[in-house]
Amino acid sequence: MKLLVVILGIVALCSGTAIPPVPGDNSHYVDGESRYIWMPDGEGTPALVDLHEPVDEELLRTRNGANNAYWLFTRSNPNNPQVIVHGNANTIWASSYNGALPLKVIVHGWNNNGWSPMNPQITAAFLAVTNCNVIVVDWGALANQLYTTAAAGVPSVGQSLGNFIVWLRNTAGGAWNNVHLVGFSLGAHVVGNAGRTARGWPVRVTGLDPALPGWRGNSNALNNRDGVYVETIHTDGDLLGIKDPIGDANFYPNGGKNPQPGCWVSTCSHGRATELFAATVYHNHLVGRQCPNIWEAELSTCFGASFHMGNGDWNKRGSGIYHVFTGANWPF
């Protein structure tokens, strides 16, 4: 990691713009002030990101929500996706989609794609406990661009997803009271925009450590009006993830900040939210205690009412701030 910082510094010097020394653990980062931050690349390796990098507006004209791919998984095809094309009803009829079953939608984050580990992990969890339709959204054509450009394209990706779900329900049936949207990092803001586009009809929206850089105070960020019940799980607050309680129910495992138990790389805590969620879908075993405020959640000194974190129950309802103790290894 130190070698990578040195290399980046040399490259920047050669180009005329020096990168100041950047600690490898994000201990330097202050939202709204810092220019550089470490984020995980597609393989989970920390990559240094320039948050002042200009948005590629030209690229956004060709890589946006219109490029979303929608992969259907069911108990009939748990491992091999069936592609549903927005506007082409024949792709629905040729698939295993069943409008009478619940619909789960999963959206990845930056530098990921439809095959990134969180997608098969959460898909397998949903299908293990519920006979349902699972749609994995692959927006990798945009998500694998510079962070600033990918973040700028989130509203388009989310609006296209929202319109797709409306079309899917109108074309092939299904009730809104069993639609559950799940998004990680930038994907959390994608599902927020999708829920908003669908008039807040999705019965449940889950944001897994919603991305922070560029999103605090952003009108396009996930909020508690994007679904009937909006839940957030915060694992890297004030670094890669928003710390603010932006949902109806907001969970702070182990205080909601870096480092999470068992994480030895600075970027691990951010992705831990996806693993915790998948584990709760299988086991529904992580129980939070309500906190009077976010500071008590960080200090792990909460003794209020109990409320389960995560799980796949589309009838789940609740509100407030919750602290959760977890273990360091699966299933935590």
pLDDT digits (tens, 9 = 90+) for 304-326: 999 999 999 999 999 999 999 99
Tell me the C-alpha to C-alpha distance, in Å, between residue 202 and each of 27, 99, 193, 319. Answer: 37, 15, 11, 17
**CATH code for the domain in which residue 291 is found:** 3.40.50.1820
pLDDT digits (tens, 9 = 90+) for 109-152: 999 999 999 999 999 999 999 999 999 999 999 999 999 999 99
Residue 31 lies in a domain: no
Catalytic choice (86, 108, 270, 308) = 270
Q: Return the structure tokens found at 265.
A: 């790389």
Residue 13 lies in a domain: no
How many residues does the structure list for the chain? 332
Catalytic choice (116, 185, 266, 269) = 185
Give pLDDT, residue 44. Answer: 83
CB atoms within 10 A of CB 151: 23
Least reliable range by pLDDT among 34-43, 92-101, 224-233: 34-43
Domain count, the chain: 1
Residue 77 lies in a domain: yes
Residue 87 lies in a domain: yes
Full strand arrangement of the beta sheet holding 103-107 = 77-84, 69-74, 133-138, 103-107, 179-184, 204-208, 229-233, 249-253, 320-324, 287-291, 306-308
Q: How confident is the model at residue 2 (pLDDT cuts 50, 70, 90)?
A: very low
Residue 196 lies in a domain: yes
Residue 24 lies in a domain: no
pTM: 0.94
Catalytic choice (209, 226, 238, 248) = 209
Mean pLDDT along residues 178-202: 98
Asked if residue 328 has pLDDT above 50, the reply is yes
The H or E element that residue 283 is part of is: helix 268-283
Residue 1 lies in a domain: no
Residue 45 lies in a domain: no
Give pLDDT, residue 168. Answer: 98
Is residue 185 annotated as a catalytic residue, yes or no? yes
Is residue 270 annotated as a catalytic residue, yes or no? yes
Domain residues for 231?
55-324
Higher model confidence: residue 55 or residue 19? 55
